Structure 1
């Protein structure tokens, strides 16, 4: 694909448009954006030409990568040099996410939960980016970033409770499964409508800037979401307001059944950053955990210290179906899936890195998988036995102080339930505290 034509081995963000213009500008005549004869600022000048020439795409942003499939890092200076314990934690988290996804996908197929989305093939994006952030950084996820929450401390128990919509679900049963959120780990609740989180993230980041916080906001989205109008509005607001927002696009080649080559004709998503909005941009190998970590760490530094937005496009592949409502075998081949699963596997890459250092064994792999399977099963058994959230929760969390008509509706509902107790499974719901 065009977006994978080039590879680089040094973190380098493509500069903004204004930087490029100032670097190459050698004018013979001055023009402002309205092409008047008024004296203008340097930033308003364009280079002029008497050649009738329409511009076309001349340069593809390279893909930053440092670790190959054998776990070798080049150049060695690009290795973050985490300790054995830190790397082990990262790999075990990736393995935990993968194992949990396998089980909960099957659980949905058994009809025990209503919906599920896996992250197969994208584990390095989750852990690599999450490890580069601070807990005070706000996260706006889409719906395929479970590993980001897990890295921040969201437990298997909390994940299963949310998928089962029981009384211990932090969302109080109001959301579809995998639509997590947690104030404790600074992750905004995920919403289903595509791309709504982008302008929200820009606003959150701008608020952080106004309050003088040394923090940023990161927002995750897919290349399909970048075709929505909210993407362009968010990018433009972030650029003009200079909000410390990290736009993290996982380009996993498929927007449900629409391939990426039908999503755009330019240089992917990264190509829109520098020239389109004047935003510093990098394209990264999303299956290389160290490349993702290095890029996100640098992006955070730019956002927090320089107060500017940054765009990261992580090139990866969605190995699993879009969701449990999808059958990807209808629009792509098994050969394509297996190529990415076997030849570009992000977990295999990090495992090879560890094996070369004698930090890991195949037996440890089996032990972790067995342990996680037990944790997920036990959590599921407990979650399924819990009651649903209290009925009174239908009327909470919208207004700080419930309105008069809301209190009237609540009283009317409970009077109705009192009159017809045998018509409703009231015993399945938690009692009001």
Structure 2
């Protein structure tokens, strides 16, 4: 009967575990958070602010039992020697101390405490002692010891000073890829900026734990100094402003010659200032932008996703940045481009014509779509099949003053060098995969 019941329990566990997809430990913890804490050794570190010479206290404990309310009850490790005294309980004592023995093999200071039997007593610790424990946390946890740190350390460790570089706090005077963004450097502690005097004091202090603003913080003077120097050099190089491309690379964490080592990421960050953050958010989610409408000049009803596409294209054109509209075939890329051209024409902020380059087989389609959906656009097809060669040779900015859109093909563009000298409002490429090879003459 017992074997049958045990088998049924085992099957039920396996089925329920498989349905959750969790590990066995995670599954058991979800059923009872303290399932594996009884009989575990804990290293407890606490602040002792009343003792300036030894401002930390250390005590090794073990979880003796779980109360009726589900709370773990701790006892000093010295009590285990009493509780498991006698030959009958020796195996339990040895089992309890196995993690401590493993930790002693990994950490010299644990071995020294074990050999001197100090591990069985409360200890006064200096900041150096506490820093040593913090550095060996992975080794202690791998040995099976649970480490409990002061509750005031909200992230599980002491706070760290953070070097923060912000770019794009204010709108740049220019737009486009040549825009120069402001670059600001600050050192903060949990969001509170530190003064230059406080930063100098940290850098002059020793590695490890330092006392500042009424709390212990973790400082690596070499990393902090190296990061500050790197960002200061970057700020000096960008005194007149940081190019937009460089700012975006920094934000994206694209590695460069002075790339941060992975372990330095916890000590520094680059953040977008209000203007740049708002701009990037609008680029990611154009649906939230102020709605721009082509008005009755567009003889069609835009679908919601086409509206979002037009808003996105409009924002990028205002920023003088390039865009790749990659909607699937048949979803109306042409009508979105025509809507954008109508909006720009209505604004009259820039009277220059726009250029559209497409495969020769699509020129007639573009011309007919423009005539059907945007008859208010003044369109010229700059191709020998439509326009006389003599007219094409004479095209210049003056002759195109009354034109909104010039449509030509890749081949015709190569044969009309005069088109290269004109400053266009927009340059639009249809079937843009035709210029994927940067070395090709067509590109």
User: Greater RCO between the two (CA within 8 Å, min separation 6)?
Assistant: 1
TM over 0.5: no
TM superposition score normalised by structure 2: 0.24
TM superposition score normalised by structure 1: 0.24
**Could you say which structure has the higher strand fraction?**
2
